[in-house]
Structure 1
């Protein structure tokens, strides 16, 4: 082994395909002091036994971009490094055995076209023509992606490692990291040990690419990397004479995938009930190891496979393989800067799709590390989406039983996780259950998504069509639009900013004007240097030196981390107050009437106009009423300390019976905000969406002194917009929209919906999406003919820049 340096710009821990990709891409960017440490031998953890399937299409445009980059990279690596990667584009076929799965894969095909991926919907006969060995009994349809492929996992990793070395990186095998030294929020050095010696490398940055060891290594750095290893099974047949090259075949309804390789068939499984492994830690000597066979566990998959691909009955089994793979709580990998530390980065937890993800993930992380900014929106995989409690080992053990199987489960809209539930509960949780609440989960929070009617089973019945709660949401929205409804918003993040520099700090980090009177509420964004949106928030000034920042539940940690990393010299204290207060939203034309029935305070426009908060008495308790809305109606968000939350709920609910108060859920809120054109962070607005192009210029006060993103706002105002966020309403009331459906303008695909849902009050599905508009007037844009591609069928749509519901915003101000 070459002598290791005593200092480096970055130390990468882990020599699987991900670590090798990060080393390769950093060295390609010109980083010279790159050191990769591998405890045993390169690829010896999980990379060596990966199936090597390389697909293009992922759930979002940016994840698809990364997967396609991986393909292109692997196609060129052999020429660059001389190491054969085995990469070939033999295509892939996914077949549906049910009508619901057919709709899912056809919707995915439409999405693929919007993302620029070659795709073809094919009949059972066409499936048979491309995969003659398949028994097509029960096959409803298929989707064919001609440019999908497969490769040799270990050689791909070794090619990346060689490319990194060719550009100056140092890669040390059989070198175990024994300790990571920290000062405050920074790692200062990494201690290492081999069989013969030990040492320390001082470093500017560390990257956790430790795969299924990532959780343990994360703890060494003081960071949370939630993942857990599960047993993953496949068999490889004996050689099958005259077996020609075949596409990769996926039969998700039977939890199976098939890959032809060197005249043999590999049959792999993502079974619904997985087997977590190594609850007490991974053995220290683990290297190229297999786990004990469990044929009983695999037998149902094999039985279905022999029926589906009959030649398997004649082929002997050469290998029965059981090896571990790491899975995360939400089946998305972890990438990015760890929230807890300022120089620790993560690329781990790839949920058995590490080979197809590694090239793109390594490229994106390296660019992020090089510039200090995300190269594009990576919210799907950003490690900051993980909540601290999700590092709990028992939680990870229970959740991992489900997440492996979810890869091939029906991905129904609104599908909820079934395992590891009930961890974070609002103080009103049992009250809501007693009233028929059907709970969903977000960031561990149990939230009422809809309310069952008396006699209705309070549970989801999943479908791609109108689900069993469709009418319930319509009734809840009707109450909000025409009378009064109430819903629990306690899960939303609440971050208190306090100190002598609070106003200056908030004005620097927010696009809006924060030097406002106490009690004023400001809708604003955190912007990055490119004018992209890092957070979408409301800010309430509580006093001369204190503000309350309210964020989406899922982004509270990310938003607070952004604030902490931009504190600089400002003298402020930033505190997560989410659990300290419950929030009840009281919304609708009769919301004022209900509040006046339970409180002596004045809720009229003269005392409590829109965008202001006031301390109130309510029942026999105290609260703070914020006059603001996410549903487009007159209403208040009532903030109450958790000890009095149940009393306030009971007071409002009892008084509301006289005027028809209806309890509502999160599905109603989403339908209402879509009708009103309110943006949803992570879908409609992200870090790569310019605040002006998102239609939120009204929330930016660029005449105030310098703030983060100000120059980018001024440049865009001068140069003009290149795209606009447009609202759409289908002219046919029957089709349903979810998101990612292609937008067709004058016959050409120009984008896709960033969000979609059913507008019950409007009587049709509605959505939003960006449409290119460079050098165009608004009249040009809206004068075009628009259609939305729903499962391969083009449906006419109306297009507007203003909301379809209450375009002037009059209902909130009455």
Structure 2
């Protein structure tokens, strides 16, 4: 290191060293410092784990922590540094020793997109882990939980795929494309057991009253209904984005992203009365979650349950406990997190292997296959679905990301963030979540967008991308990101309107090169599907004529 430094700055060779300091340094499991209020002790704030970058982070870290302690929140989104992104599972001495030995050399190494840590793995696994592993699953880790990225078909070079590192078109491109195609045309199974799952219950109406105060949507729905909602802070920003199922009059099932396990628990506990008759239980470990996606998902589950699952008998966003194979008490939900038809199955862990085997066995005649999170990512981004922790954060409101329909201002309960949203609705939003389709980008030859790319409107910087993926449906790259008027233009409007979005010429910069992009406030896939159906109808009519 010294030799390299002297080559870069030769004049240092003649400098005299006046003082040499040698001290222990602190490192974290993900190479990012930890800051904020701890979950277990109210009012106890931490700022540490600087990973040898303390001098660089001192000013910003000190400022944001001071704001946090003074006002209750920092002035910017610092979720990637929040101490509550970790749980007790990352505090094992053996885990920390092995992970930190890996972290140190990585600090100055170029990290390609979608890379994964190699140490501290297989810490949390689904009961299906071994079964999926033998079927070619390649794994990623989220909050200590192993999740399948994709499944390598037999005969493929596993070693080459595992060692593939690039900013360009990845080697798994065709594999993920086949999984996406199966989700759209047949049926796929995705193990989504890593999602955080809580149950909230009470002897009276306390559970409903608490959720009505925490959630922007209306939770006073009939038993069995599913509600997609945000838990907002007083600024109207997302503290959690979740799906809530009303299991009975006073019992609710809350589904949140994987890395929300500590943060969401802390947020709910913080707002529970001290003498509460409420019971909040973390049931993440109790259930294996299978996402059965595709137009033939209904056929597979109908055979296994002997119950009609058509929309007339099983409407959208509905949950029912039913039998699947020999297993009773399976929570079957008509949703998929992707916008595609299908169901979520929440299975008690002792039944997980049986239900999975039954689903795969019956699904053979419908072309069933395993699928991973890369396919899921492509599907949700082309459907314009925002994801908490990446697109949504504590400073993003439902009005800014097109989710005002999930806010019920007149539900009769004063929910947290209501006043801030009413004020924002009156004056207008200052930024807006937009979908971009890259128009002149060559998927085969050009650098890919991964996230964090600058967005330009009429040659002026107006935002950065928060998510991106290749859409196998649109056969183009899709980027999601927030746009706001440039600060450099005093004549620019301060409020983002549909007219402001539609009248702009957009570019997304990747690796120093700008690509033209088409901006939309609604999913491209819906328009594409209509055009494709018209094209298919014309081709079929032409074929009949021949």
Shared fold (TM-score, shorter chain, > 0.5):
yes
**Structure 2 partner of 1:525:** 230
Take 1:358 and 1:322, find their aligned partners in 2: how far apart are those partners?
19
Matched, 1:695 2:415: no
Contact preservation (8 Å) 2:432, 2:496: no
TM-superposition CA deviations, 1:463-522 (whole Å, max 9, x none): 111122111111111111222111000000001111121111111100010011111000
Take 2:297 and 2:353, find their aligned partners in 1: how far apart are those partners?
19
Contact preservation (8 Å) 2:334, 2:344: yes
Within 5 Å, give how 1:353-392 maps onto structure 2: 353-392=53-92
Unaligned runs of 5+ in 2: 486-493, 531-546
Q: Closer, same or farther in 2 for the Cα pair 1:787/1:320, shift >3 Å? A: same
**Structure 2 partner of 1:571:** 277
Contact preservation (8 Å) 1:425, 1:446: yes
The secondary structure found in structure 1 opposite 2:382 is helix
**Structure 1 partner of 2:140:** 440
**Structure 1 partner of 2:464:** 752
Q: Closer, same or farther in 2 for the Cα pair 1:320/1:335, shift >3 Å? A: closer
The equivalent position to 2:111 in structure 1, one of 411, 417, 420, is 411
Take 1:627 and 1:513, find their aligned partners in 2: how far apart are those partners?
19
Within 5 Å, give how 1:273-312 maps onto structure 2: none
Take 1:356 and 1:314, find their aligned partners in 2: how far apart are those partners?
26
Contact preservation (8 Å) 1:502, 1:546: yes
TM-superposition CA deviations, 1:298-356 (whole Å, max 9, x none): xxxx5x77777788999999999764211000011110010112121111111111111
Take 2:286 and 2:73, find their aligned partners in 1: how far apart are those partners?
33
1:659 positional shift? 1.4
**Structure 2 partner of 1:463:** 166
Take 2:362 and 2:342, find their aligned partners in 1: how far apart are those partners?
16
**Structure 2 partner of 1:487:** 190
Take 1:568 and 1:381, find their aligned partners in 2: how far apart are those partners?
29
Take 2:517 and 2:303, find their aligned partners in 1: how far apart are those partners?
43
Which TM-score applies when normalising by structure 2? 0.89
Q: Closer, same or farther in 2 for the Cα pair 1:316/1:536, shift >3 Å? A: same
Which TM-score applies when normalising by structure 1? 0.60
Within 5 Å, give how 1:287-686 maps onto structure 2: 323-458=23-158, 459-499=162-202, 500=204, 501-568=206-273, 571-622=277-328, 623-686=330-393
1:747 positional shift? 1.2
Contact preservation (8 Å) 1:509, 1:526: yes
Take 2:43 and 2:528, find their aligned partners in 1: how far apart are those partners?
47
Take 1:701 and 1:776, find their aligned partners in 2: how far apart are those partners?
23
Q: Closer, same or farther in 2 for the Cα pair 1:368/1:594, shift >3 Å? A: same
The secondary structure found in structure 2 opposite 1:656 is helix
The number of aligned residues is 510
The secondary structure found in structure 2 opposite 1:754 is strand
Take 1:538 and 1:807, find their aligned partners in 2: how far apart are those partners?
27
The equivalent position to 1:796 in structure 2, one of 507, 516, 524, is 516
**Structure 1 partner of 2:491:** none
The secondary structure found in structure 1 opposite 2:138 is strand
Matched, 1:725 2:433: yes
Take 1:608 and 1:449, find their aligned partners in 2: how far apart are those partners?
30
Q: Closer, same or farther in 2 for the Cα pair 1:786/1:479, shift >3 Å? A: same
Contact preservation (8 Å) 1:527, 1:534: yes
Q: Which has the larger radius of gyration?
A: 1
1:631 positional shift? 1.4
Take 1:721 and 1:515, find their aligned partners in 2: how far apart are those partners?
29
